[in-house]
Amino acid sequence: MTVAGVDIGSNTAKAVIMDNGDILATSLIMTGHQSRLAGRRALDLALREAGLEEGDIALIVATGYGRLTTDFTDQKVTEITCHAKGAHSVQPEARTVIDLGGQDSKVIAVGENGKVVDFVMNDKCAAGTGRFLEVMAAALEIELDNMGEVSLESESPASISSVCTVFAESEVVSRVAEGTNKMDIVAGIHQAIASRIYAMTVRVPFKEKVIMTGGVARNIGVVRALEKRLETSLVVPEMPQHMGALGAAIIAEERAGA
């Protein structure tokens, strides 16, 4: 029984195709300004990789902020449920999921069965998200993908007191003008994100083990800053950006076999 999960996020669209619990193919593309078409393209890419056609798929589940725009999926499930399900599948011991995406951040308390116990979500501002890091990287004139490694070289992180993107960008510009090393500024940015996410975790029943998902999980500097702030290690899965799509595919298997 072959199924698919499609996660249409603000920055990227992902697809996962599964058959009897095995992942056959995955894809990831930029969402762009038409989320429905991005989801369609992500699914088509995964189908091509798997050597399948859409007619071979028993059930397609969509998730993510763009899920409601799809007209090619069979069912739609919230990203909170799908991220919990996907994270639990790769780390069954995990009881807390920290998902930092392009435009929002989530902390999800997960039960033994992978179901959501509680969650808190920040989708009103870019603090602690990929977009926040993009703005900071541009202000510092460094590559976004290099921020994590750069920050690990810091021995004296700069103080970045604001988590508001606009104010934090102003602080960064001021630190540059003062002659502060970029590595220290980046480390300070990561610490600011960690403080923001920590404030979210205390609003849910926080328990170890903790798994981190979303595109920001690829930034080792943010991971390390969070580990220090939370005083625990974080599990980062092999494909952190695909956890929502994976969860959607798992739910599709469960429902197709019901």
Provide the percentage of residues in the chain whose pLDDT is more than 70: 97
Does 16 share its domain with 83? yes
Question: Given this model, what pLDDT does residue 129 score?
Answer: 81
Q: Which residue has the tokens 């780390």?
A: 91
Distance CA 193, CA 222 (A): 7
CA-angle at 201, arms to 196 and 204, nearest 5°: 145
Whether 104 and 193 share a structural domain? yes
Instruction: Return d(Cα 133, Cα 165) in angstroms, integer.
Output: 9
Report the alpha-carbon distance of residue 73 to residue 54 in Å, rounded: 10
CB contact burial 133-162 (16+ within 10 A = b; e otherwise): bbbbbebbebebeebbebbeebeebbebee
Q: What pLDDT is stored for residue 258 in this prediction?
A: 58
Rounded mean pLDDT, 160-175: 81
Do residues 229 and 251 both lie within one domain? no
pLDDT, tens digit (0-9, with 9 covering 90-100), for 49-92: 999 999 999 999 999 989 998 999 999 999 999 999 999 999 99
- For residues 42-48, give the mean pLDDT: 98
Sheet arrangement for strand 12-19: 22-30, 12-19, 2-8, 59-63, 75-76
Give how many domains the chain has, as a whole number.
2
Is the pLDDT score of 183 beyond 80?
A: yes
Tokens 């999921």, residue located: 97
Question: What is the 8-class DSSP label of residue 104?
Answer: -
pLDDT at 120 over 80: yes
Do 113 and 231 lie in one domain? The reply is yes
Sign of CA dihedral 76, 254, 10, 23: negative
Which CATH number goes with the domain that contains 231? Answer: 3.30.420.40
